[in-house]
Amino acid sequence: MPMLTDSKNKFQRGLVYLFAILASLGIAPFVVIRYMNGQVVNAMVDLAIVTVALGSAGYTWWRGQATQLISNITAALYSAGAVAVAHLNEPIFVFWLFPALLANFFLLKPNAGLLANILAILAILPIAAKLETSTQMFAMISSLLICGSMAYSFALLTSRQQASLQSYATQDALTHLGNRRAMNDEMQMSIDDFARNQTPATLIVLDLDFFKMVNDKYGHSVGDGVLIDLAGLLNKRVRKTDRVFRFGGEEFVVLARNTGLEDAAVIAEQLRVQIELELRDPEGTLTASFGLAQLAADEKLEDWFNRADKAVYQAKQQGRNCVVAAASPAAVLN
């Protein structure tokens, strides 16, 4: 997910920078021309557009990301600027609104862009009403509506495709739980929260016992059904604040956020009991072995997961169907 999110943010940053460049090259000269021609108000409108565009680009560069606020300001700037230019000049200057209609869908979400475009077109209606013939009026309005509608359709399709791609990138295809990439992202968020606010987090890693025998004896279709049932059980039993992932094969992970080791051990034991009571294969009961590790100070993501994974191995060594908590790195060193 962050890979896609970062890619989208890079695109948004690029748009903010692009609009700043276009405003500087395409609009800034009109500031001088109109001021020299005595059109002071028009020149001030153009200057405001250029100033805000450059300011937005500078702020985005300073932050290193394009915030939604900057996108909203940029969209409002171009829409209001295009409408103002059209009202201050001849009707032909309505053509400035067309790029603004397109830009809104790049900067805003589809529905927000649609609302912004409707408001912009409504603001142009007084200009259309003053045209010499009804044909000219309807031609102006129709061209704006057609442009806005086509841009909206494209933006809506793109938004849906992006949502699908994000789902494919972060969701396990079989169980519809988060995949390893999603797990890494959530773990990194927990690490960042711990570094800032000392918010505890504990990994609960579980591995089905003797699952290979299920696949070998009954086939992968039965095994897949077991994994799907386990995913549903975990989703049903964990807390709303917890996150569940399929790491791979028969190994699953629960990220217990804002939770210390003792509380996580209670959660793990409850899950262990529920799996033993509810999860079945054609021969009967299935069990799982659990390993826990609470995030330690300055611990890397890989080290955190490896401690929990080793605890699972210890649970297997102790007879399976049990919960083992990993010692903290400091305790191991001592």
Matching residue, tokens 């711990």:
194
For residues 105 and 94, what is the distance between their CA atoms, to the nearest angstrom?
19
Nearest to 181 by CA among 132, 279, 247: 247
303: number of Cβ within 10 Å: 13
**Active site residue: 250, 276, 278, 299, which one?**
250
Matching residue, tokens 């605890």:
311
User: Is 250 designated active site?
Assistant: yes
For residues 153 and 121, what is the distance between their CA atoms, to the nearest angstrom?
17
For residues 307 and 330, what is the distance between their CA atoms, to the nearest angstrom?
12
Matching residue, tokens 């896609």:
4
Q: Rounded to the nearest 5°, which phi and psi values hold at 66?
A: -95, 110
Matching residue, tokens 């294969």:
281
Nearest to 2 by CA among 246, 243, 185, 163: 185
Show which residues are catalytic. 250
